[in-house]
Structure 1
Amino acid sequence: MSNVVDTLTKKKEVDSIIRDTIDKVLILRFGRSSDTVCLQLDDILAKSARDVSKFASIALVDIDSEDVQMYVKYFDITFIPSTIFFFNAHHMKMDSGTADHTKWIGAFHKKQDFIDVVEAIYRGAMKGKLIVTCPLPPEKIPKFQLLYKDV
């Protein structure tokens, strides 16, 4: 499969794609290409890239790259894959009924689920929102046992 989605391994590359992606949703997938769930997600991202290209750009960030650790720490990437959304250099959050609104954790069930999420983020961003509600039903949202102290 041809790699239609760039893989970023340098902080400078991540900085510039965040800064230079204007009036489009930027989707950054943090993970590693050797991980099975990352590969499932990458397949969906690659298949969706053309469909969302008018309003979104997708890039993969290799979390094993020494040079991007600042982002891994900043976004608290503990589960992979973790997908972060931006719009005009603003971090877009999404309320999907989980404890973490800052990122999407895990893969999407289907290509259409991913496209629906990106469209919702784009529409919200165009209205000036920094947080949007996830358009997917709860059963389509990956569940992770997040460990919090006595929540």
Structure 2
Amino acid sequence: MEFLLPTLGQKREVDSMIRDTIDKVLVLRFGRSSDAVCLQLDDVLYKSARDVSRFATVALVDLDSEEIQVYVKYFDVTFIPSTIFFFNAHHMKIDSGSADHTKWVGSFRTKQDFIDVVEAVFRGAMKGKLIVSCPLPPEGIPKFQLLYKDV
């Protein structure tokens, strides 16, 4: 059986998913189904959903939805896809060596890379941590250039 990932297009859907996902990591992929990198990430997420289902829930968030813009602004989703993690309604951060710990930007190279990151988030959350170290080697982490206005 293949897992179908829910696609959230309304703020209240995202709110309730964050609020109602208890004792599991909530993985929210912000992006567009028309973007090539999003499709690559979605493929990894689809293939991994069953493997992480004991300790994580995965959902897709449609960036083009007007109602979702409050989250896009709040989490500064400027690069797509961006994946954001929660545990018991707390935003979980990942230290992957970039300046931005609030989200994972880009795709995961493999299904196992994604599973390893979600497991690290889950283990850290179970210990009460709000930020965890990325378990992937540096070459497995997508690189992107942060742009700052007026610098």
TM-score, normalised with respect to structure 2: 0.96
| CA RMSD, 1 decimal | 1.3
List aligned pairs for 1:71-90, cutoff 5 A. 71-90=71-90
Q: Percent identity?
A: 79
5+ long unaligned stretches in structure 2 = none
1:118-144 Cα distance to aligned partner (Å, 9 max, x none): 000000000000000000000000000
Mapped to 2, the partners of 1:147 and 1:67 lie a distance apart of 26
CA distance in 1, matches of 2:53, 2:101: 24
- Structure 1 ranges of 4+ moved more than 2 A: 148-151
Instruction: Pick closer, same or farther for the CA change 1:92–1:33 going to 2, 3 Å.
Output: same
Q: For the residues of structure 2 that align with 1:24 and 1:3, how far apart are their CA atoms?
A: 17
AA matched with 1:102: T
The answer for the alignment partner of 2:144 in structure 1 is: 144
2:123 — aligned with what? 123
- For residues 130 and 149 of structure 1, what CA distance do their matches in structure 2 show? 28
Q: Which residue in 2 is equivalent to 1:68? A: 68
Q: Distance in 2 between matches of 1:149 and 1:57?
A: 35
Q: 1:139 to 1:87 in 2, by over 3 A?
A: same
Q: How many pairs align? A: 150
Residue 3 of structure 1 deviates from its aligned partner by 6.3
CA distance in 2, matches of 1:147, 1:10: 29
